[in-house]
Structure 1
Amino acid sequence: MFEHIDFNYLLATYGYLAIFIGCLLEGETILILGGMAAHQHVLKLLPVIGYASLAGMLGDQLLFWVGRYFGARLLPRLHKHQATIGRVTQLINQHPTASIFSVRFLYGMRLVGPMVIGASKVSPLKFFCVNLAGALVWATLFASGGYWAGEFLQRFLGDLKPYRLPIVLAVIVLMVAVALARHLRAKNRVSAK
């Protein structure tokens, strides 16, 4: 079924768009795959980092403004996320700059965090600058991680071209498994209280 798919063509043609859209929504999986594609010279590492940084920053900016204008009404309705909202609020009160920078790295806070920060009345200019720096660091770390994962796999498998689809599927399955394990652990913590 997949033997007729030209994976190189798809990556070269739609890779940067997929990275932009994936990082606008969430991003780590697609960013790791983008780094691996850069290692294989299908994409270039700097544009992967650039598109991912831009998308990650824009997504958080949008959520910031949602929090700024609708946070007072919206956040109390997010019943499942009240513990996360409380943690982000506490982090903002204690370390506002660090919370803006790190919220994208903290599991479970990526979507709610920027809304809480927006509702907290942090300066939009401060959020923009620190968010941009955080997005650049985030994109660089994950894309580089994917690049070095490609290097590691190439040492063991040789030419990765025949293994690209299985590698993509394995990375996706691994990221889903990690997210599911984190979700179940968080759910167990909540039910144990």
Structure 2
Amino acid sequence: MTIEAIVARWGVAAVFAGAMLEGETAVIAGGLIAHQGYVAWPFALAAAALGSFLADQFFFAAGRRYRDRPLVQRWTQKRAFAKALQLLERYPTGFIFAFRFLYGFRTVSPIAIGTSQVPLATFLPINAVAAIVWAALFTALGYWFGEAVTEAAGRLRPSRHTLLMGIAVLSSGFAIFQFVRWWRGR
């Protein structure tokens, strides 16, 4: 089952879970499905922002609470973890805002920030604003891409099933591309 099919079936709950677990692909799919009328775009945006925010708060809290435990200690051995701490020291506010937009830093950064001396009172509001901006950007991309697909499909006159299959193929290709980039970065 594709991400788009899951989002179409489960609506904002799928966008919420996808933003927590997967990231951009699920949120873009939420925008595409919003364009198709399965969910309202503001609800897709809110679900994506809330899912992203809560996941990052969870990882921050895990880094803060379990910084001396073996699981978090394994994360500290990763090259991305050291780079995240280095960027955090140089640009604390900017890095907290931008890490979700930086490929390879999405999961490790809130853990790294949690192990640092950054107080929760600093992380929480910056994380909230960044989650809203991130969700707005990626759901809008999906929505606008849906407009382009609909316009192109209008010229071709395919059925709704064909249109959803095309969206699924494009999104799957994007997901595979992201996985290959991630795999090579390891």
Per the shorter chain, which TM-score range? 0.7 to 0.9
CA-CA distance at 1:145 after TM superposition = 0.2
Taking the aligned partners of 1:184 and 1:58, their CA distance within structure 2 comes to 26
The answer as to whether partners of 1:72 and 1:119 remain within 8 angstroms in 2 is no
Return the letter of the residue paired with 1:172: S
Post-superposition CA distance 1:18-59 (Å, at most 9, x none):
111111112211111110111112211111000110110000
The AA in structure 2 aligned to 1:30 is: A
Q: By how many angstroms is 1:184 displaced?
A: 4.2
- Could you tell me which residue of structure 2 aligns to residue 174 of structure 1? 173
Residue in 2 that maps onto 1:186: 185
With the length of structure 1 as denominator, give the TM-score of the two structures. Answer: 0.84
Segment drifting more, 65-74 vs 91-100: 65-74
Correspondence for 2:129 among 118, 133, 140: 133
Task: Report the Cα offset of residue 117 of structure 1.
Answer: 0.3
- Corresponding residue of 1:92: 88
Alignment match, 1:46: 42
Give per-residue Cα distances to partners, 1:39-81, cap 9 Å, x unaligned.
11221111100011011000000000000111243443237x6
Question: Does 2:23 match 1:27?
Answer: yes
CA RMSD of aligned residues (A): 1.9
Which residues of structure 2 form unaligned runs of 5+? none
Give the number of equivalent residue pairs: 177
Q: Which amino acid aligns with 1:170?
A: V
Is 1:83 aligned with 2:79?
A: yes
The percentage of counterpart residues that share the same residue type is 34
Matched AA of 1:181 = V
> Where in structure 1 do 4 or more consecutive aligned residues deviate above 6 Å?
none
Between the aligned partners of 1:93 and 1:172, the Cα distance in structure 2 is: 36
Partner of 2:143: 147
- Sort the Cα spacing of 1:44 and 1:18 in 2 relative to 1 into closer, same or farther, 3 A: same
**Amino acid paired to 1:83:** R
Structure 1: runs of 5 or more not aligned: 1-6, 188-193
Alignment TM-score, normalising by the size of structure 2: 0.87
2:17 counterpart SS class:
helix
Deviation at residue 126 of structure 1 after TM alignment: 1.1
Measure how far apart 1:157 and its partner are.
0.9
Q: Which amino acid aligns with 2:32?
A: M
Offset at residue 155 of structure 1 (A):
1.3
One-letter code aligned to 1:58: L
Q: 2:161 — aligned with what? A: 162
Q: Distance in 1 between matches of 2:82 and 2:17?
A: 29
Q: Is the 8 A contact 1:103 1:109 kept in 2?
A: yes
